[in-house]
């Protein structure tokens, strides 16, 4: 099974190796990386990782509104026919199967079902109390979250789309126009990127969304980075931080991958 992953990221070079290693170890073997206005070491890291991974990098040097939708449409038109499934996620999102050890196993039951895409729910992680950005791995440093279904941020989905279809973007980066529609892991149809009518289910798939990281990261980058699928000039105020910096519970969902992740990181960066 050929599994692709499309992403658009800006100045996340510091965390790229972990992000690539995590998804590669779970079965993704083709990466379509849109580098948006990157001024850090992103391209150096991509060059190093490309010695072991199949990475197609596209540079987007200009500021524009809805740049994520432009990138995703380009991927659908140029790369979707090359894969069996394509996931579309951000650099602060870690997508994994919860009942299997690989996406090849997890996606197999959906291969011949009349669905075009799977909608995967996220769990939102807070800062874990970090005022400054810590050294080390995101998956180790940020372990506190709010997984309660009543927390509306957890009703967001991201899409894993079957390849070899005619697909186009919608007005947001979460859900796509597809021939047979998007359904969650329980077979419930998802009609928007915010599935407000469904209780999130994580029995087969999950995204850990490390949207806050540290207060330093928020103040120096996230607050003024804009919305990639909307306005590039949007500003997130402290009200955004106070709403999403939820550190209600200690989460162990990703612990079982820790050893393999470190082995994969060592292999990719040797």
Write out pLDDT tens, residues 39-65: 999 999 999 999 999 999 999 998 888
**What is the pLDDT at residue 232?**
74
pLDDT level of residue 246 (50, 70, 90 thresholds): very high
**What is the pLDDT at residue 31?**
98
**What is the pLDDT at residue 156?**
94
**What is the pLDDT at residue 225?**
86
Looking at residue 256, the DSSP 8-state letter turns out to be G
Average pLDDT of the residues of the chain? 95
Task: Write out pLDDT tens, residues 83-95.
Answer: 999 999 999 999 9
**What is the pLDDT at residue 39?**
95
Task: Write out pLDDT tens, residues 253-264.
Answer: 999 999 999 999
**What is the pLDDT at residue 116?**
98
**What is the pLDDT at residue 235?**
85
Report residue 148 as tokens.
């309660």
Task: Write out pLDDT tens, residues 182-213.
Answer: 999 999 999 998 888 899 999 999 999 999 99
Mean pLDDT for the stretch of residues 123-132? 97
pLDDT level of residue 150 (50, 70, 90 thresholds): confident
**pLDDT(228) > 80:** no
Nearest in space to 126 (alpha carbons), one of 6, 215, 7, 30: 215
**What is the pLDDT at residue 44?**
97
31 vs 33: CA distance, rounded Å? 6
Instruction: Let me know how long the chain is.
Output: 270
270 vs 267: CA distance, rounded Å? 5
Nearest in space to 75 (alpha carbons), one of 122, 129, 158, 67: 67
**Residue in the block written with tokens 């607050």:** 223
- Long-range contact set of residues 101-106: C-beta below 8 Å, sequence gap at least 24: 101/26, 102/26, 102/27, 103/1, 103/3, 103/26, 103/27, 103/28, 104/1, 104/3, 104/27, 106/204, 106/205
Mean pLDDT for the stretch of residues 132-156? 94
Q: What is the pTM of this model?
A: 0.96
pLDDT level of residue 77 (50, 70, 90 thresholds): very high
Q: Which domains does the chain have, with CATH numbers?
A: 3-269 (3.90.550)
Mean pLDDT for the stretch of residues 134-139? 97
DSSP code string of 101-168 = SSHHHHHGGGTTSS-SEEEEEEEEE--TT-SSPPSS-HHHH--EEE--TTSGGGGBEEEEEESSS--E
Considering only residues 204 and 233, tell me which one the structure prediction assigns the higher pLDDT. Answer: 204
**What is the pLDDT at residue 84?**
98
210 vs 134: CA distance, rounded Å? 14
């Amino acid at each position: 099974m050929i599994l692709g992953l499309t992403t658009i990221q800006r100045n996340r070079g510091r965390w790229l190796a972990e992000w690539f290693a995590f998804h590669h170890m779970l079965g993704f073997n083709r990466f379509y990386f849109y580098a948006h206005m990157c001024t850090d070491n992103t391209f150096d890291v991509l060059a190093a990782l490309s010695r072991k991974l199949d990475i197609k990098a596209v540079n987007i040097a200009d500021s524009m509104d809805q740049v994520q939708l432009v990138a995703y449409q380009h991927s659908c038109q140029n790369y979707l026919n090359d894969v069996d499934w394509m996931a579309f996620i951000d650099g602060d999102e870690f997508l994994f199967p919860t009942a299997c050890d690989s996406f090849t196993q997890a996606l197999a039951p959906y291969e011949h079902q009349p669905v075009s895409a799977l909608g995967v729910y996220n769990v939102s992680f807070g800062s874990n109390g970090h005022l400054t950005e810590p050294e080390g791995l995101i998956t180790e440093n940020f372990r506190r979250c709010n997984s309660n279904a009543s927390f509306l941020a957890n009703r967001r989905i991201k899409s894993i789309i079957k390849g070899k279809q005619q697909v186009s973007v919608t007005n947001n980066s979460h859900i796509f126009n597809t021939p047979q529609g998007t359904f969650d892991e329980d077979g419930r149809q998802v009609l928007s990127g915010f599935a407000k009518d469904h209780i999130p289910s994580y029995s087969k798939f999950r995204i850990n969304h490390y949207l806050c990281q540290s207060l330093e990261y928020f103040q120096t980058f996230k607050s003024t980075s804009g919305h990639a699928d909307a306005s590039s000039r949007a500003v997130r105020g402290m009200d955004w931080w106070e709403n999403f910096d939820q550190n209600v519970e200690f989460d162990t969902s990703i612990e079982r991958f820790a050893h393999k992740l470190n082995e994969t990181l060592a292999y990719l960066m040797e």
